[in-house]
Chains A and B, each alone.
Chain A
Amino acid sequence: MVVRMAMIVVLLNVNEERVVLDLQEAGGKLDSTQGEVVLDFSSVRRIDSSALQALEEFARIAEEKAVKVALRGVSVDVYKVLKLVRLTRRFSFVN
C-alpha cells in the first residue's frame, strides 16, 4: 500500500523591481513543514549580482530546512545566468 504524504506547496511571486527583498522576505518565512516553495520569476527579465546572492542565500536556507525550491517562469536569459554561475543544480524549474 502506498501512503501519500501531504505536501504543502507555497507559491511566492518575485517582483523584478525587488528581487532581493522578496527573496529575503521569503527566506525569513521558510518553514521546514513546507514541502516545496515555488518562486514565480515570470516578471523577472534580468537579474543582477545582488539578486544572485539573495537567490543563493535562499537556496542555502531552504537546504538547511529541507524545503525544495522550484523556480517558475524563469526566462531563458535568466536561466542562462543561473547556469553560468552553477545555480541551476540547486533548484528545480517549472514552466
Chain B
Amino acid sequence: MIVRDAVAVKGRIQIPLTTESLSADRIAYLDGLIRQARTAAAIFTQFSQEDVDRIVKAMVLTGLEQAQYLARLAVEETRLGVMEDKAIKNMVASEFVYNYVKDKRTVGIIREIPERNLVEMAEPIGVLFSLTPVTNPTSTVLFKCIMAIKTRNAVVFSPHPKAWHCCAEAVRLMYETAVKHGAPEGVFACLESPTLPDNAYLMKHKDVGLIDATGGPGMVKAAYSSGKPALGVGAGNTPVYLEKTADLNTAVVDIIVSKTFDNGTICASEQAVVIDDEIYDDVLKKFADLGAHLCNEKETRLLERTVIDPETGFMQPMAVGQRASDIARFAGLSVKPDTKLLIAPIQGVGREHPLSVEKLFPVLAVYRAKSTAEALKVCVDVNHAGGLGHTAVIFSRNEEIIRKFGEVINAGRIIVNSPGSVGALGAVYNDLVPTFSFGCGTGGGNSTTDNVNIYHYLNIKRVARRTQNHMWFRVPNQIYFNMNAVENLGQFASQSTIIVTNPSLERIGHVDIVRRHICPKTHVHVQVIPDAEPEVKVILQGVEALNFYKADQIIALGGGSVIDAAKIMKLKYESPEADLEYLAAPFLDLRKRVVQYPTEKINRARLIAISTTSGTGSEVTPFAVLIDKERGRKVTLADYSLTPDVAIVDPQFVMSMPKGLTADTGIDCLTHALEAGVSTFASPYTDSSAMQAIRLVFKYLPIAYAHPHDEEARCMMHNAACIAAMAFSNASVGLNHALAHAFGARFGVAHGRANALMLPHVIAYNASVPTKFMPSPYTKGYVADKKYATVADLLGLGGHSVDEKVKNLIAASEQLLDQLEFPRSIAELGISREEFERAVPELVKIACDDPSWRSNPRMPLMTEMAELLWKAYEGRGLAQVVGAAQQRTE
C-alpha cells in the first residue's frame, strides 16, 4: 500500500539548529536524560571486558528472540518495507554484529604492537546522541545498542518520529536486558516525542560526546554543523555496472534480491544498472523472466511523475519502501500482481532523467552502454548524482575493468559480483564489517568511508614507549695506516687506474710514490685537478677520463678537496644519471631522507683515498663538497655510498705539511671529535673514536706543530684525523661547524682557523643549560656538559664537579690554540667592528641554513648564534667568565 503522507525519509529539508521553541520543562527533561546517561557512562568506566561481553551476549540473544516482533512493529508503524526482511535485518544487527564484536577487545588494552613499541587502549566516549532512520528503525537501534555496550558508552536515542514506537520498544528491550545483566541504570534512553528543536538542543549539549546520525542529508548536515564530533552517514545512489563478461544469471538474481530486500529501503541498494550493449536484451529478458516488469517509454514517463518530485528532483517519500505492484498501481501501470521490480530505461543521468536519482523502493533504472568507456562514465555520473562516497556495484569477470571501476568510482563500498544492499551491510556476502551505518566519506559530507563499527565508538589511546632506533657505524671496509701504508696498494688488482690529485702533490713526488705501489701491469692515468674545492667542470672532465680509460680503480691522492672530487667522479661514472643538485636535497634523518642515491650502476670502480692532510678525514667520510660556479653555490653531498672503499692513512704524505696547515687541519680534526662527542647522534661507537682522537690531538698536535719532522707526532695526528672523521661520519658535527662555515666563507678564513675562533665559545655554550633543548631520542637527559667533563677526565685536566671540568677543558683548548699561535679573536684578523657588525645578520642566516647544527646538543637560537659570533670577535679570556655553573646560578 502507498503511504500517502509525506514522510521525510531522506528529507532534503534544512534542520534548523534552533532551540528557541523549547520550554523550560522540556529543557529540564532533556538535561535529565543526559545527566542520567552521563552518570551511567561514568559508572561504566569501571566495567571490565568480561562484564561488557556478558551483557552484550544477553542483548544479542534478546535481539534474536525479538527480531520478528520488532520487525512487525516497524512495518505496522512505518508502513515501509517487508516484515520478513526487517526480521532478517534485526537478526543481522544482532547475530552478525555479535559475531564481529565478540572477540574484539574494547576495554583497557585493545591492541599491542610490540614491533613499534605501541599499545592501543580504549577510552569510552561517554554519552552518545543517536538519530535513527525510518527506513531501518529497529535494526539500527539494536546495532547501536550492542555497539554502545561493547564500548561502555551510554546512548540517548532520537528516533525518526514516524518510527518512534518501534524504536522506543527496541530501546526498551535492549535496556532492560542490559541492566538485568549488570549494565548501569540510565545507559539507554529514548526521547519522548522527539522534535527538531530537541535534536538541535541535544546536538549541542555539553555532555554529549558524539552524535551518531544515521539518516537523511539534512539531519547529517545538522549533526556536523553542531560543533560536536559526529558520525554522519547518509544518502546514496548506487550505480551498478553489469559488464558483458559477468555471470548474468547470478547478477540478475543478486540485483533482484538486493533491490527488493525490504522493498529497497537500504540506501546501499541498486539504483541504476548500466548494461553493456552486447548483453542488454538478454539481461532484460532474464529480469522479466524472474518477475520484473519492463516499462515502455509511456510507462516510464508515468512512473517518473509518480515517484519523483518534479520540483526537487528527489524521490517521493510516499513511494519509499513500497511494493513494486503498489507503486505500479499508483502510477497507473498495469502489471502482474506478483511483480517484484519495475525496470525503467534511462538515456542519461541528471534532472532531465528523473529516475537516475536514489529510489528507496523497487524501481530500477537501466542504461544501455555502447562501450566499457561509456558504461564507466555513466556509472561515474550516477555516483556523482547524490551517491558520492556511498556504495557501487560491479558484476564482471574482467579483473582489469573491476580495478578501473574501483579507481573511478568514489564509494566507501565497491561491491563485486554480489548484491549491493545486503553486500554493503557486511559479513553476509563478503568480509566487510557488519553495520547499519554506511560512512560516505567527504564525498557524502561524512568523516569516514567505513562501515561504522565499534571502533568509531571509542577513543583509541596510543601508549607510545620510547623507541631505541637503530643506529650505525659505517666506515670503509679497509683502512691501512702508519708509515708506508701506501704499500698496500699492490694488493688491489686493476686493469686501468686513474690517480686524481693536484699539481703540488705531483710536483713534490707524491704521485710517483703512489705509482710505484700500484699493481704491476696496471694502466695508470693521472688526472690533475686544481688545488681547490672541486667544480662541476672539473668533475665532468674527470668522468670523461674515467670513461675514456675504462677505469676500474680511482686513487684519490690529496686533501679533502681532491678526495671529494674523486668521490663525485666515481658517483657520476658509475651512475651517469645522478643529478647532483637533486641528491644534495636537505634531510634531517638519514634513514628517512626523501632523496635516495642511485643503486643502479653501469660502471664499477674501486675508490682508494690517500689523505695528504691530517684534518678533514675525507678518506673515511660519506661527504663531498662541490662548487657550482654557474649557480654560484656550494653543493654538499652526503651518503654512505660516497665513502671510499679503501682508506690509506700514511704519514709520509704529511711530513712536509707547513706549520700553518698543520695547525689548521689539526684543530679541524679536534673540532670534529669534540662535536661528534656531544652530538645528538653520538653513540658508544662514535664516542670511542671521538675520545681517542681528542686525546691524540691534545698530545701530538703541539709536537707536530713545533717539530714538523717528528714522525710519531705526524703519524698520530694523521691517525687522529682519520679516527675523528670516523666519529663525525656517523655522529655528525655541530654548531661550531655551522658558524665556522659561514664566517670562513664570508671572510676567506681557512676552515680550521675559523673553527678555532669559535671552539672555546661553543664548548661553553653547549655546556650551559640550553635556552631550547634539541629533541634527542638517543640520549637520556642533557649530557653535553657531562661528556665534556669526561673529555677533561680523559685528558687528566682535573676538577671535581662537572662545571670545573668543563672550565678546565675550555682552558686547555685555549692553551692549545695559543700554542699553535692562532689568532684568538676575529678582531685580530684585522676585521673592523663595523664590517663585522654589518656581516653578522647574514652570517647568522647562513649558519641557520647549514645542516651541521642539526645534531648540536643544544638548539641554537638565532640570537645566540649572533652572540657566539660576537664572543668570537672579542676573543680570549673565556674560561674566566663563562661556565655552566655561572648560568645555572642565574
Contact B46 A84 (CB under 8 A): no
A81→B38 contact, CB < 8 A: no
Whether A84 contacts B41 by the Cβ 8 Å rule is yes
Cβ-closest chain A residue relative to B187: A49
Q: Which residues of A contact B43 (CB under 8 A)?
A: 47-49, 52, 81
Are A85 and B39 in contact (CB-based, < 8 A)? yes
Judge whether A81 and B184 touch: CB under 8 Å: no
Q: How distant is the Cα of A82 from the Cα of B126 in the complex, in angstroms?
A: 14
Does B42 count as interface, using CB distance less than 8 angstroms? yes
Please tell me if A70 contacts chain B, counting CB pairs below 8 Å.
Answer: no
Question: What residues of chain A lie closer than 8 Å to B184, measured between beta carbons?
Answer: 48-49
> Which residues of chain B (170-193) have a CB below 8 Å from chain A?
184-186
Q: Which residue of B lies closest to A77 (CB)?
A: B46
Nearest A residue to B38 via CB reads: A85
Which A6-30 residues have a C-beta within 8 angstroms of B?
A: none
Q: Which of B41, B46, B185 contacts A47 (CB 8 A)?
A: B46
Whether, in the assembled complex, A65 has its beta carbon less than 8 Å from a beta carbon of chain B, the answer is no
Q: Which residues of A contact B46 (CB under 8 A)?
A: 46-47, 77-78, 81
A84 touches B45 (CB 8 A): yes
Smallest CB separation, A56 vs chain B (Å): 10
Instruction: Tell me if B40 is interfacial: C-beta within 8 Å of chain A.
Output: yes
Contact indicator A77/B45 (Cβ below 8 Å): yes
How near does chain A come to B788, taking the closest CB pair, in angstroms?
43
Q: In the complex, what residues of A have CB within 8 A of residue B186's CB?
A: 49
A70 to B390, CA, bound (A): 55
Candidate in A52, A78, A81, A84 with the most chain B CB atoms within 10 angstroms: A84
B residues 31-56 in Cβ contact with A at 8 Å = 38-43, 45-46
Q: Considering only CB atoms, which chain B residue lies closest to A50 in the complex?
A: B185
A80 proximity list for chain B (CB < 8 A): 42, 45
Q: Which residues of A contact B40 (CB under 8 A)?
A: 49
Q: How far is the CA of A81 from the CA of B126 in the complex (A)?
A: 11
- Interface residues on chain A, number (Cβ under 8 Å): 12
Contacts of A46 in B (CB 8 A): 46
Q: A22 to nearest B CB, angstroms? A: 18
CA distance A77 to B108 in the complex (A): 12
Q: How far is the CA of A77 from the CA of B46 in the complex (A)?
A: 6
- Residue numbers in B under 8 Å from A84 (CB-CB): 38, 41-42, 45, 126
The CA of A85 and the CA of B43, in the complex, are separated in Å by 9
Within 8 A of A (CB), among B7-44: 38-43
The chain B residue sitting closest to A45, CB to CB, is: B46
The A35-62 residues at the B interface (CB cut-off 8 A) are 46-49, 52
Min CB distance A72 to B, Å, is 19
B185 contacts A81, CB within 8 Å?
no
The CA-CA distance from A47 to B46 in the complex, in Å, is 8
Question: In the assembled complex, which residues on chain A have CB atoms less than 8 Å from the CB atom of B41?
Answer: 84
Min Cβ gap B457→A in Å is 17
Q: Could you say which residues of chain B place their CB within 8 Å of the CB of A82?
A: 42
Judge whether B185 and A49 touch: CB under 8 Å: yes
- Residues of chain B from 43 to 84 with CB closer than 8 A to chain A in the complex: 43, 45-46
- Residues 65-95 (chain A) with a chain B CB within 8 angstroms: 77-78, 80-82, 84-85
Closest to B35 in A: A85
Min Cβ gap B128→A in Å is 15
Residues on B with C-beta less than 8 A from A47 are: 43, 46
Interface centre among B38, B46, B186 (most CB of A within 10 A): B46
Identify the closest chain A residue to B182 (Cβ).
A48
Q: Flag if B39 contacts A49 (CB, 8 Å).
A: yes
Fill in one digit per residue for B101-134: 1 if any A CB lies within 8 Å of its CB, else 0. Answer: 0000000000000000000000000100000000
> Which residues of the other chain, B, contact A77 by a CB distance below 8 angstroms?
45-46
* Complex interface: chain B residues within 8 A of A49 (CB): 39-40, 43, 184-186
Determine how close the nearest CB of chain A comes to the CB of B840; give it in whole angstroms: 54
A91 to B484 alpha-carbon distance, docked (Å) = 83
| Min distance, Cβ A91 to any Cβ of chain B, angstroms | 15
Contacts of A52 in B (CB 8 A): 39, 42-43
A48 CA to B182 CA, complexed, in Å: 10
Bound: A77/B184 CA distance, A: 16
Taking the closest CB of chain B, its distance from the CB of A80, in whole angstroms, is 6
A86 and B41 CA atoms in complex are apart in Å by: 13
Minimum CB–CB distance from A11 to chain B (whole Å) comes to: 25
The smallest beta-carbon distance between B37 and chain A, in angstroms, is 11
Q: When chains A and B are docked, how far (Å) is the Cα of A79 from the Cα of B43? A: 11
Question: Which residue in chain A gives the minimum CB-CB distance to B47?
Answer: A46
- Residues from chain A with Cβ under 8 Å of B38 in the complex: 84-85
Residue of A nearest to B40 (CB): A49
User: B42 contacts A85, CB within 8 Å?
Assistant: yes
Bound form: Cα–Cα A78–B126 in Å: 16
In the bound assembly, the distance between CA atoms of A48 and B39 in angstroms comes to 9
Please, which residues of chain A bring their CB within 8 A of the CB of B39? 49, 52, 85
Smallest CB–CB gap between A61 and chain B, Å?
19
A50 to B: closest C-beta gap in Å: 8
Query: Smallest distance from the beta carbon of B580 to chain A beta carbons, Å?
Result: 59
Q: Please measure, in the bound complex, the distance between the C-alpha atom of A69 and the C-alpha atom of B126, giving whole angstroms.
A: 27
CA A70 – CA B184 in complex, angstroms? Answer: 26
Q: How far is B126's CA from A18's CA once the two chains are assembled, in angstroms?
A: 27
CA gap between A47 and B39 in the complex, in Å = 11
In the complex the two chains form, what is the Cα distance from A88 to B184 in whole Å?
Answer: 20
Shortest CB-to-CB span from B441 to chain A, Å, is 32
Q: Compute how far the CA of A85 lies from the CA of B39 in the bound complex, rounded to whole angstroms.
A: 6
Q: Give complex CA distance A47, B43 in Å.
A: 7
CA–CA, A80 and B38, complex, Å:
13
A contact residues around B42 at 8 Å (CB): 52, 80-82, 84-85
- Name the distance in Å between A15's Cβ and chain B's nearest Cβ: 17
Closest to B186 in A: A49
What's the Cα separation between A84 and B34 when bound, in Å? Answer: 13
Residues of chain B lying within 8 A (CB to CB) of residue A81: 42-43, 45-46
Q: How many angstroms from the CA of A81 to the CA of B184 in the assembled complex?
A: 12
How distant is the Cα of A84 from the Cα of B124 in the complex, in angstroms? 11
Minimum distance in angstroms from A53 CB to a CB of chain B: 8
Q: CA A52 – CA B42 in complex, angstroms? A: 10
> How long is the Cα–Cα vector from A54 to B46 in the complex, in angstroms?
18
> What is the CB-to-nearest-CB distance from A57 to chain B, in angstroms, rounded to a whole number?
14
- Once the chains are docked, how many angstroms separate the CA of A47 from the CA of B44? 10
A48 CB contacts on chain B under 8 angstroms? 43, 184
Cα distance, A78 to B38, chains bound together (Å): 15
Chain B residues whose C-beta falls within 8 Å of the C-beta of A78 in the assembled complex: 46
What CA separation (Å) do A82 and B39 show in the bound complex?
9
- Chain B positions 175 through 215: 1 when the CB is less than 8 Å from some CB of chain A, otherwise 0: 00000000011100000000000000000000000000000
Q: How many Å from the CB of A48 to the closest CB on chain B? A: 6
How far does the alpha carbon of A58 sit from the alpha carbon of B310 in the complex, in Å? Answer: 64
Closest Cβ of chain A: how far from B151's Cβ, in Å?
A: 15
A-contact 0/1 string along B703-735, CB 8 Å cutoff: 000000000000000000000000000000000
Residues 360-377 of chain B, each 1 if its beta carbon lies under 8 Å from chain A, else 0: 000000000000000000
Residue of B nearest to A83 (CB): B42
In angstroms, Cα B126 to Cα A85, docked, is 11
Name the residue of chain B whose CB is nearest to the CB of A84: B42
Across-interface contacts of B126 in A (CB, < 8 A):
84
Q: How far is the CA of A92 from the CA of B707 in the complex (A)?
A: 78
Cα A52 to Cα B40 with chains together (Å): 10
Nearest CB of chain B from residue A67's CB, rounded to whole Å:
24
Considering the complex, give the chain B residue whose CB is closest to the CB of A86: B38
In the bound assembly, the distance between CA atoms of A77 and B45 in angstroms comes to: 8
Contacts of B45 in A (CB 8 A): 77, 80-81, 84
CB nearest neighbor in B for A48: B43
A80 to B46, CA, bound (A): 9
Q: List 18 A-B contacts (CB under 8 A).
A: A46-B46, A47-B43, A47-B46, A48-B43, A48-B184, A49-B39, A49-B43, A49-B184, A52-B39, A77-B46, A81-B42, A81-B46, A82-B42, A84-B38, A84-B41, A85-B38, A85-B39, A85-B42
Q: Which 4 A-B pairs have the closest CB atoms?
A: A84-B42, A81-B42, A85-B42, A46-B46
Given contacts A77-B45, A81-B43, 17 further A-B contacts (CB under 8 A): A47-B43, A47-B46, A48-B43, A49-B185, A49-B186, A52-B39, A52-B42, A77-B46, A80-B42, A81-B42, A81-B46, A82-B42, A84-B38, A84-B41, A84-B42, A84-B45, A85-B38
